[in-house]
Amino acid sequence: MINTALKNIRRSPYQALAAVSMTGLTVFVVSLFALVSLASQLILTSFETKPQVIAYLSDDHKTEQVNSLISDLTTTGLVKQATYVSKDEALKIYKESVGNDPLLLGTVTDLGIITADVLPASVEITAKSPDNFPTLVSILERSKIVSSTPNGQKEIDFPQDVISELTAWTRAIRTAGLILASILSFNSVITIMIIISMKIASRRYEIGTMKLLGAKGAFIIKPYLIESILYGAVGGVIGWLASYIALLYSTPFLAARLVGIIPLPVDPLVMLALLAVLVVSFSSLGLFSGLLAAVRFLKR
Amino acid sequence: MIVFDQVTKVYSTGNTILDNVSFHIKEGEFVVLTGPSGAGKTSVGRLLIRDLLPTSGSIKIEGVELAELKSGQLPDLRRKVGVVFQDYKIIPDKTVFENIALALEIINYPGKQIADRVHHLLDLVGIPEKDNLFPIQLSGGELQRAAIARAIVSEPKILFADEPTGNLDDATAKDIYQLLLEIHNLGTTVIMSTHNEKFLPGHRHIHLEKGKIVADTASSSHSKEKHKKADD
C-alpha cells in the first residue's frame, strides 16, 4: 500500500510539490504564530507575576497601619498577593538589581554609600487582573500612610497601560493567527482534496478493473489516503523546519531584548514537542482531505 | 449452481439485449455460450458479476439472489466469479506480474506467497518468462493468457471467459481452449462465450441470438477421446 502511494507520488511530482508546499506554508505560519503566541503569553505572564502596583509609604508609618492597609486590599478579593517591603528589604532588592556597579551603589560618588534610609518602604500588590487596578489604587489613595509628592499626589506606581496594551496585543495576535491559520488550513485541505480527486479520476480504468476483480472500497482508497497523510506529514516537517530556522536566525536579536522574560534560545524539547503536534495535526488534516476526495469517489 | 430464470435486460436506450433467458448450470460444468456479435453473451457475463442488473427475472449463484446483494457484498460475489474480459482489462502501467498479483492482494493473500502463486500461474498459462513485461510488450495471445492467469489466480469457483479466442489465430485459440479445459479439469465451472465453435465439441452449448436462447444442448462428459479429437 505504501509502495503504491509512493509510486503515485513519483508519477506526478508537481502535484505532490503543490500539496507539500501549500501544507508546508500553512505549517510555517501556524508554527510561527504558535511561537509568537507562546512568547506573548510568557511576556504577559512575566508582567502579571511581577508586583504591578507599588505604593510608597511615608517614613512615619506603623506596622498596624500597614497590616490594616494590606487587610483592606486583600478583603476586596481582587488581589493575588500584597506584601510589605521594608526599607532594609528595599535596599536588598536595589542591590540585587544593580549588581556590583560601584556607581549605582554610590561607593564612588560624593554622596556616599546608598543606605536603607534613602529608600522608602512600600506595599507591593499583584492584582488578579489589570482591570482591578483602579479599585486598588483608590484604596491606596485614601490611605494616610502612603506618601505624597510635594504637589499632593500619592506616590503610587502601576503600569496600567502596559498590561492592558500587552493583553490586547496578545489577544489580537492569537485572533489574527487563528484566522490566518484557518484560511491556510482550508486552502491546504482543498489543495490536497483536488489533487487526490484528480488522481482518482485519472485512474478510473484501473479502479473500475479492481472493482470487477472484487476489490473493496477500503482496498481501493487506502493508497490515496496514505498519500494524503504523507502530504500532511511532509508539509508539517518542512514548515516546522522553516519556522525553526527563522527562530534560530532571529534568536540573537530577540535574546538581547527579552532578557529575563523569555529564555532564549528556545529549548529544543519545546521545538520537538511542537514538531510532534504539527505532524500529527497536519497528517490528520491530510487524512481528512483524502477522505473528502475518496468519499466523493465512493458515492459515485 | 447458476440459475438464470426468465432474465430480461433492456438498456435505457430501449435496446433489449436479453429476452426472457432461462438456463441452469451445474457445478463443474463446461458451458459454451455461442452466438453472433450482439447476441447478449457479454451481458450474461456482466450480469453474473452484477456489473449489470436484470430488468426483470432472477439470477442466482449458489442459491443467492444477485439482485438482493448489497453493494458491500459485491466484492465477495466477484471473488467467486473470475472473468476473462473480452478487452482483457489488463492495467497498462503494471507489469504482467503486478497485474496478476493485484487479484491476490485484493483477497488479502499472504504477501510472501504471492510471488510463488503468480509464478505458478504464469507457468500454467505458458508465459513464465513474461512476468516483468508490460502489457504493451505482449502479443494478443500472451495478453489473453495473462488475463486468464489473473482471472483464476484467486481460485474462483466459476470462470467466465468472454470471447477468449476472439482475436487470435487458430493455433493460439486452440492453446487457449486447452488451457480452459485444464482449468475446468481442476474443478472450476467454466462458461466460455464465443462466436467460433471450431474447437469446442462435446460441451453443452447455449446458443443465443438477438437476446434469446435458440438452442441449449445437453451437457456431455468430456471423454479423453473427444479431447484428443479436439487437439487434432
Segment B128-146 mean pLDDT: 91
Segment A85-113 mean pLDDT: 72
Point out the residue among A212, A214, A215 whose CB comes nearest to the CB of B89.
Answer: A212
**Does pLDDT of A103 surpass 80?**
no
**Does pLDDT of A43 surpass 90?**
no
Query: Can you tell me the ipTM of this complex?
Result: 0.85
What pLDDT score does B223 carry?
A: 37
What is the separation, in whole angstroms, between the first and last Cα of chain A?
A: 23
* Shortest Cα distance, chain A CAs vs residue B106, angstroms: 5
What are the tens digits of pLDDT across the range B150-176? 998 888 999 999 988 877 778 778 888
Q: What is the interface size between A and B, counted as CB pairs within 8 Å?
A: 37
What pLDDT score does B222 carry?
A: 42
**Does pLDDT of A194 surpass 80?**
yes
* Shortest Cα distance, chain B CAs vs residue A4, angstroms: 11
Segment A264-269 mean pLDDT: 84
Lowest-pLDDT range, A61-75, A273-287, B163-177?
Answer: B163-177
Point out the residue among A209, A211, A216 whose CB comes nearest to the CB of B91.
Answer: A209
* Shortest Cα distance, chain A CAs vs residue B229, angstroms: 35
What pLDDT score does B183 carry?
A: 87
Q: At what angle do helices A160-202 and A217-257 cross, to 10 degrees?
A: 150
Give the whole-angstrom CA distance, residue A32 versus residue A176. Answer: 12
Using only C-alpha atoms, what is the Rg of chain A?
30
**Cα torsion through A271, A274, A278, A280, rounded to 10:** 110
Give chain A's mean pLDDT. 85
Give the whole-angstrom CA distance, residue A180 versus residue A182. Answer: 5
Point out the residue among B72, B76, B78 whose CB comes nearest to the CB of A213.
Answer: B78
What pLDDT score does B195 carry?
A: 79
Point out the residue among A210, A212, A215 whose CB comes nearest to the CB of B83.
Answer: A212
What are the tens digits of pLDDT across the range B167-210? 777 877 888 888 888 889 888 999 999 877 666 777 888 999 98
Select from B118, B120, B175 the least CA-distant residue to B145: B175
Decide which of A226 and A116 is more confident. Answer: A226
Give chain B's mean pLDDT. 86
Q: What share of chain B in percent tops pLDDT 70?
A: 92
- Which of B52, B91, B148, B158 best tests the A interface by mutation, with the highest count of A CBs <10 A? B91
Q: Is A272 on the interface with B (CB under 8 A)?
A: no
What pLDDT score does B217 carry?
A: 85
Segment A243-249 mean pLDDT: 91
Q: Is B77 on the interface with A (CB under 8 A)?
A: yes
* Shortest Cα distance, chain A CAs vs residue B115, angstroms: 16
Q: Which helix (H) or strand (E) holds B58?
A: strand B56-61
Give the whole-angstrom CA distance, residue B101 versus residue B87. Answer: 19
**How would residue B221 be classed by pLDDT, with cut points 50, 70 and 90?**
very low
Tell me the CA distances in angstroms from A137 to A65, A84, A146, one per residue in order: 17, 16, 11
Running DSSP on this structure, what letter comes out for residue B138? S
What pLDDT score does B226 carry?
A: 41
Select from A202, A273, A192, A214 the least CA-distant residue to A22: A192
What pLDDT score does A148 carry?
A: 87
Segment B22-46 mean pLDDT: 91
* pTM for the predicted model, two decimal places: 0.70
Residues in chain B closer than 8 A to A209 (CB atoms):
89, 91
What pLDDT score does A51 carry?
A: 63
Q: Is A218 on the interface with B (CB under 8 A)?
A: no
